[in-house]
Amino acid sequence: MYALILLTLITVCYAAYNLLVKVSGSHAGASAPIFATIGLQLAALSVSLVYLAVLMRQGAAVALPPRALLFGIAAGCCIGAAEVMYFYLFRGIAGEPGMSAGVAIPVIVGGTIVIAMLVAGVVFGETFAPVQWAGIMLTLGGMLLLALGARQ
């Protein structure tokens, strides 16, 4: 039950994150996306530091193996690059208008689901039931319909 509550909270936070990036990216001049990304990263760091302080105050053992640090840094580089691109996607780039949140967010999230599932199968050796593969096919179909609808 706690996992379901946590899953719901994470989903709400990610939805809010996506929508707030859309709103933030639509403001001001050419450098605004970069500064918005820095602000986003500083806010994320602040939340992490508060959580670390809570863990330390509770007496939890705080350790970071070097391999975990390297993967964390790699993940941070990926999300940092994605965030910069995200801001430009929503505000527009090279004279093109910004993409709508109703198309961009579902396609990005759906694409993330498909890529993560494929990598989980190939790299991590996870197996999936036929119903899960059907879910991936439906996700791909939904992404295609959203992209086609955006062209009209």
pLDDT digits (tens, 9 = 90+) for 60-115: 888 889 999 999 899 989 988 888 888 888 888 888 888 888 888 888 889 999 99
Q: CA–CA distance from 28 to each of 60, 85, 90, 91 (Å)? A: 43, 16, 13, 9
Rg (CA), the chain: 18
Place of tokens 């806010």: 43
61 against 54, higher pLDDT:
54
Asked if residues 113 and 139 have their Cβ atoms less than 8 Å apart, the reply is yes
Given a cut of 70, is residue 152 above it in pLDDT? no
Asked if residues 93 and 21 have their Cβ atoms less than 8 Å apart, the reply is no
Q: 31, exposed or middle or buried, with CB in 10 Å at 0-12, 13-18, 19+?
A: exposed
Q: CA–CA distance from 75 to each of 1, 13, 40, 90, 118 (Å)? A: 28, 18, 15, 22, 18
Determine the Cα–Cα distance for residues 90 and 94; give it in Å rounded to an integer: 12
Model pLDDT, residue 66 = 92
